[in-house]
Homo-oligomer: A and B are copies of this chain.
Amino acid sequence: MTRRRQQTRDRLMQAGFEVFVERGLSASIEEICERAGYTRGAFYSNFRTTEELFFGLYERLSTTALARAGEAVSDVLGSAGRPRRGGDVVGAAVEAFLSVAMSPDDRSWWLLSSEYALQAARDPQFAQRMSVLRKRIQAELDRFIVSALDRAGLAARVPPSTLSRALAAVHAGALAQSFEDPDGPGYQELLRLTVPFVVRGLTGPATRRTGA
């Protein structure tokens, strides 16, 4: 409510972000407070548990992701209209997809999203709360896929949501492996080795009707 409170909340969340990245979800309340420059009193006045702060962070992150995806959609829609057949349509689509996807060098995001996945897998309540936000992003991503395909003159051979999940899975796998195996191919290369083929495999010319 008050300005001061909002500021301490923000600082605690920022500190939580950093500490969670460094230490994982097992970070202690004291660590977070120390990082933020507060004492535990401030924490308990704003959050009940570390998990609560952790989930708050997810809300914040997913909100910004949603906004970014929304922008990407309008960008694509803005310059859409007439499909263009020539050129590396799929390559352009991949680039577009990358622009929506999380920044490839964002190690922090990968670490945290792994933590979120683990937490959700272990705590059904957490999973349910997360799923609400997930669905919103998922829907926005689907919209992006649809408009991007339209712009590229392509039609999906599977439901757009299925296509977007498949691409998201490939993206996540590439991101994970690029960190887990630093000697192997990097994130960019992995995507170049996979995404175009998946897109080509799951789409066809727009004129053809999807029926059957």
Contacts and interface: CB of A to CB of B under 8 A. Distances in A.
Contacts of A168: 173, 177
Given A25-B26, A122-B24, A134 B181 contact: yes
B197 A169 contact: no
A166 to B, nearest CB: 5
Given A165-B184, A169-B176, A184-B165, A193 B158 contact: yes
Interface string A192-211: 01101110111000000000
Interface stretch (A1-9, A56-64, A74-82, A113-121): A113-121
Contact of A173 (B26, B118, B173, B183): B173
Interface residues of A, number: 48
A33 interface: no
Contacts of A177: 165, 168-169, 172
Main secondary structure, interface of A, reads helix
A174 interface: yes
Contacts of A200: 197, 201
Contacts of A169: 170, 173-174, 176-177, 190, 194
B179 A166 contact: no
Given A25-B24, A193-B202, A198-B194, A117 B166 contact: no
- Max chain B C-beta neighbours (<10 A), residue from A115, A118, A161, A200: A118
A38 to B, nearest CB: 23
Contacts of A110: 121
